[in-house]
Amino acid sequence: MGIDPAVRQSDGGTQTVVAFDFDGTLTIRDSFTEFLRWRAGSGGWALGLLRMAPALVAYLGDRDRGRIKAASVRAFLGGVRRETLEAEAQAFADHIWPRFMRSDALACWNDWGAKGAHRVIVTASPTQTVAPFARRLGAENLLGTALAFDSDDRVTG
């Protein structure tokens, strides 16, 4: 028994890789919900929640986070152009950064960076909405949910 030599890790030239969860670890709460609320404004947020009523009722029974997230993408982002979404995500990150990021987690993030670690952000949120934060943090990689876009580059889900 043992590890197949083809998948054995190298003993030399390795770099430490650290992965940080984004929502609730680097931030004080879920970033996607906060982004949708910020983008929609109070009236738009209320209307979007009304459109999501069937999905919200279903969520009470099945607790399927993927299904409720898909419904929120359709209700709040359906038809939005990719470039618009990316610009709004950047504006949101710039606006909310000072009060949204956890200073203790940022200190840990920076400590790992000072040690030369390869830092990865992992999130269930759409990569388009987290990318501005990842760039500002200097993340080497971002692993998140990929939104679907149609041939006109508009969000479909």
State pLDDT tens for residues 6-38: 545 555 568 899 999 999 999 999 999 999 999
Does domain 17-145 fall under CATH 3.40.50.2000? My reply is no
Give domain limits for the chain: 17-145
pLDDT per position as a tens digit, 36-62:
999 999 999 999 999 999 999 999 999
- What are the pLDDT digits (tens) for 124-153? 999 999 999 999 999 999 999 999 999 999
Provide the whole-model pTM.
0.87
Q: Got the DSSP string for the chain?
A: ----TTTPPPSSS---EEEEEIIIIIBSS-HHHHHHHHHHHHHHHHHHHHHTHHHHHHHHHH--HHHHHHHHHHHHHTT-BHHHHHHHHHHHHHHHHHHHB-HHHHHHHHHHHHTT-EEEEEEEEEHHHHHHHHHHHT-SEEEEEPPPB-TTSBB--
What pLDDT does 135 receive?
98
